[in-house]
Structure formats: structure tokens, C-alpha cells
């Protein structure tokens, strides 16, 4: 599967820098963050496309006030989204700027009008946010656009995940990437349950990645070793900028280190191989082989006294030791001669 020019089978892990609200209301901050994402090695920058009115109702009734120990407790949903949203009139400038840097760019639509709006930019993919996974109508509408669809599973039940995979396939979209996700901001390490990643790939038969809200880079690096093909991480120029998502976002130097660690992990993982490479062949000189450990006369028996398995590996393979013991030598050998079949 490809996302833009990136081939998930050939090019490694697709690393997404999530802009979210980290522009903090400044278009220049948004531009600077996109440039920084390119500089630190991200493969894509991701926006969020909504308004407060497309997400919720402007109400201060108890149902609409955030509770539960979050970073945003006591705010109304409307006020939070009004503060955090990316103005729609910025989108063309942001898409054009990212593409001028050869950085992929796409977005999370939060309703059908956002999908329709984003279509004009021909995004390389669409992302369904964790809290929108239960909006089956939105998932279906987005999947019908035929782009790769990346779906966070943070609050979904097993059945709901199966439902949305089936919905995407039912409209002819098999380019599905499920993201293991813990919908807590920030998320505790013990809640990550990264062993779900290979199980998710096996259970649903689709590509799997990881949307990370933990602090630091340990979780995404571990996720890659478990088979994650996509990593998404909130990205901010500097936490001092502030904003609703600043606390659990990764700064430039941290993100750069994470990208390097992921790329190093990919090199370490490599491929399944038992190939006798030139390096392995050369290093076999340090393996053991059979050598003469005491002078041997022609007709004398080979014993553990006069032949041994030692380094280096130029002599006969040690697997022949038992076969040779007790046989008589057909020539004279000197100490430290190689033992060979001839």
C-alpha cells in the first residue's frame, strides 16, 4: 500500500507529525511547524479539519462540560474546539507549503462537510480520529473517496473495529490502516498494551500502526519492533507556545531523536535471513575446526590427544570429529597442521 509516494512495504515506517492545535492560533506557527517536521524527518504532517459547530453544540449544560481528570476539565466542548481548531481558510496555504517542501500532508475530517472540503486538495489519505470511529456514516463516506484510510481505535470495542473494517471493504476500499491508540492525554505507559499491534494485524488482516500519546519515544520505537507500519505523534515547535495539546506533544529535538531511533530499529529488524553473506563467510575464520594438537606419524590412530577442535576455522568441520577418532592416519602430521579429508 502507498500513502502518496511512500510505499509501506518497501520504505519502512510512515511517520506522521500531528499538528493538531499546536499552531496555537498562529498561521506562522503552523508554517514553522510544517518546516520543522520536514527537517526532523517526518514523512507527513497531519491537520485536523473541523469547527466547533461541526463537532458539538454551543451549550454549557452539564453534558457538554469536560470532566474526568483530563487536561481540559471544566471547559465546555465548544470552547475547547473553538480554541483548538485549524481555520479552514488556512488549509490551501498549508497544503501548498508542505508540498513545496516535498512533505506529505493530509487531515482528519470530523464530519462529511470536512471530507467534501478536503477533497479539493486531493489528500494522499484520510485519518479517522479515535472518537469518530463510532460514526459509521462518516467512516463509510470517507472510505468511498478511495484514498487510504487510517483509523485510530482508541475507544473502539473489538466489534466496532470489525464493523468499520467491513464498512470500508463493503465500499471497495481495502487500503485500511488501523492504529493502536490509547485515548488518554497524556497516556500512561502501562495502558499502551503494544502487544495488541501484531494481534490486530492478524485479527483484521490489514496494516497496523500506532497513534501515540505517551510522553517520550519508547512506545513508538517499541511499536515499530512489533510490526507498526505507521507512527503518529503530536508535534510542536516548543511547548512554551502553549495550547490544548502542548503537554503531550513532542518538541523538535525529541521528534528528531525518535525518527532516528525508529530508522535504526528498522535497520536492526532487517529481514528474515539465513544467507551466508560475505561478512559471515569472512568471520567463519574465527570458528572452530579440527587441527593437529600433537605430532602424528603415518599409521598412528587419531585420538583426543592428537586432534582438537580449536580456532581458527580453516580445517575440517568439527562435526567430523567422532567419525575420525580411532581411524589411522595415512600420512605424517606436524603440530598445528590443519586436518583435512585429503
| End-to-end Cα, the chain, rounded Å | 56
Estimate the share of the chain in helix, then strand, then coil, as percent rounded to the nearest 5: 40, 20, 45
pLDDT, residue 72, reads 84
pLDDT, residue 71, reads 80
pLDDT, residue 100, reads 98
- DSSP annotation of 331 reads S
Structural domains of the chain sorted by starting position, each given as residue range(s) with its CATH number in brackets? 11-50+85-269 (3.20.20.70), 275-342 (3.90.1210.10)
Exposure of 238 in the CB half-sphere (CA atoms within 13 A)? 4
- DSSP annotation of 238 reads -
Minimum mean pLDDT range among 5-9, 51-55, 125-129, 239-243: 239-243
Give the pTM.
0.89
Residue 199 pLDDT more than 80?
yes
**How confident is the model over 247-258, as a mean pLDDT?**
95
Burial class of residue 215 (count of CB atoms within 10 Å of its CB; 0-12, 13-18, 19+): middle
44-99 pLDDT, tens digit each: 999 999 999 999 999 999 999 999 887 889 899 999 999 999 999 999 999 999 99
The kind and range of the H/E element at 17 are strand 14-18
Residue 278 pLDDT more than 80?
yes
303-312 pLDDT, tens digit each: 999 999 999 9
Amino acid at each position: 500500500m502507498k500513502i502518496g509516494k511512500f510505499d509501506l512495504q518497501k520504505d519502512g515506517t510512515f511517520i506522521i507529525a500531528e499538528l493538531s492545535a499546536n499552531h496555537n492560533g498562529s498561521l506562522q506557527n503552523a508554517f514553522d511547524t510544517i518546516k520543522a517536521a520536514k527537517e526532523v524527518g517526518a514523512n507527513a504532517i497531519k491537520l485536523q479539519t473541523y469547527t466547533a459547530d461541526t463537532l458539538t453544540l454551543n451549550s454549557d449544560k452539564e453534558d457538554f462540560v469536560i470532566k474526568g481528570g483530563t487536561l481540559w476539565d471544566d471547559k465546555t466542548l465548544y470552547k475547547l474546539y473553538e480554541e483548538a481548531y485549524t481555520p479552514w481558510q488556512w488549509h490551501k496555504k498549508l497544503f501548498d507549503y508542505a508540498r513545496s517542501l516535498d512533505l506529505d500532508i493530509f487531515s482528519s475530517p470530523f464530519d462529511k462537510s470536512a471530507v467534501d472540503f478536503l477533497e479539493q486538495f486531493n489528500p494522499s489519505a484520510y485519518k479517522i480520529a479515535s472518537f469518530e470511529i463510532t460514526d459509521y456514516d462518516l467512516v463509510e463516506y470517507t472510505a468511498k473517496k478511495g484514498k487510504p484510510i487510517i483509523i485510530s481505535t482508541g475507544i473502539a470495542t473489538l466489534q466496532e473495529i470489525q464493523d468499520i473494517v467491513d464498512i470500508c471493504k463493503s465500499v471497495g476500499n481495502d487500503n485500511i490502516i488501523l492504529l493502536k491508540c490509547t485515548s488518554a492525554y497524556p497516556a500512561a505507559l502501562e495502558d499502551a498494551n503494544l502487544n495488541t499491534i501484531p494481534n490486530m494485524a492478524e485479527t483484521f488482516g490489514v496494516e497496523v500502526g500506532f497513534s501515540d500519546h505517551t510522553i517520550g519515544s519508547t512506545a513508538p520505537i517499541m511499536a515499530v519492533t512489533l510490526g507498526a507500519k505507521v507512527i503518529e505523534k503530536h508535534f510542536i515547535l516548543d511547548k512554551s507556545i502553549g495550547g490544548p495539546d502542548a503537554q503531550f506533544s513532542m518538541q523538535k529535538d525529541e521528534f528528531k531523536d525518535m525518527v532516528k531511533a525508529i530508522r535504526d530499529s528498522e535497520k536492526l529488524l532487517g529481514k528474515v535471513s539465513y544467507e551466508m553473506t560475505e561478512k559471515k563467510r569472512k568471520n567463519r575464520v574465527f570458528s572452530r575446526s579440527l587441527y593437529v594438537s600433537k605430532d602424528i606419524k603415518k599409521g598412528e590412530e587419531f585420538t583426543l590427544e592428537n586432534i582438537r577442535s580449536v580456532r581458527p576455522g580453516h580445517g575440517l568441520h568439527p562435526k567430523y570429529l567422532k567419525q575420525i577418532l580411532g581411524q589411522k592416519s595415512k600420512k605424517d602430521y606436524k603440530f598445528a597442521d590443519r586436518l583435512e579429508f585429503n
